[in-house]
Amino acid sequence: MATAIFYASSTGNTEEIASKIIDKLGLENSYNISNNQEDIKNIQKYDKLILATSTWGDGDLQDDWDESWDEFKQIDFSNKTVALVALGDQEGYDDTFVNSLGTMYEQVKAQGANIIGFTSTAGYEFEESTAVIDDEFVGLVIDEDNQDDLTDERIDAWIEDIKDDIL
């Protein structure tokens, strides 16, 4: 079965990161739930998924993910391989940095997903994050506000790590 990426974007940053991932992996299936929240139902069609969100306020999910959350929580992720991506601002929100990633991780884990793509916290400066387990982020973390010069390098390293399991 094919791989798909699902993302939501308020300002365009998450969409830009998703586009880079799509291009680098050669993905044919992508869903911007900001354009159509009904697309969340399509998650059930795939056994390999990349889920991308940004973090808002004090660690909240992006609005479109938040509005779809009740339906998202009903999806069975057992027998699915999932890689997670989140954007955040480590300087402005250093005590809730990419907590949306932690929220998404906890939910797909509870629903049985095989989660891949953990990344190092090295090179980031923040106080707290629910997205850190055993000194690693539970997915790819991008900070376009403060470290956009590292984005492509981080995406490339992450893709190299997950490509055999996600394609």
Enumerate domains of the chain plus CATH numbers. Answer: 3-166 (3.40.50.360)
Buried b (16+ CB within 10 A) or exposed e, 110-140: ebebbbbbbbeeeebebeebbbbeeeebbbb
Distance separating alpha carbons of residues 82 and 78, to the nearest angstrom:
10
Quote the mean pLDDT of the chain: 96
Beta strands at 119-120 and 136-137: parallel, antiparallel or unpaired: antiparallel
Please report, as a single letter, which amino acid is at residue 34: S
Cα-only R_g, the chain = 14
pLDDT the model gives residue 62 = 95
State percent of the chain over pLDDT 70. 99
Q: Does the pLDDT value for residue 1 go beyond 80?
A: no
**Other residues' Cβ atoms within 10 Å of the Cβ of residue 38:** 11
Dihedral sign (CA 118, 156, 165, 32): positive
Residue 37 banded pLDDT, cuts 50, 70, 90: confident
Q: What pTM was estimated for this model as a whole? A: 0.97
Rounded (10°) CA dihedral 118, 134, 15, 81: 40
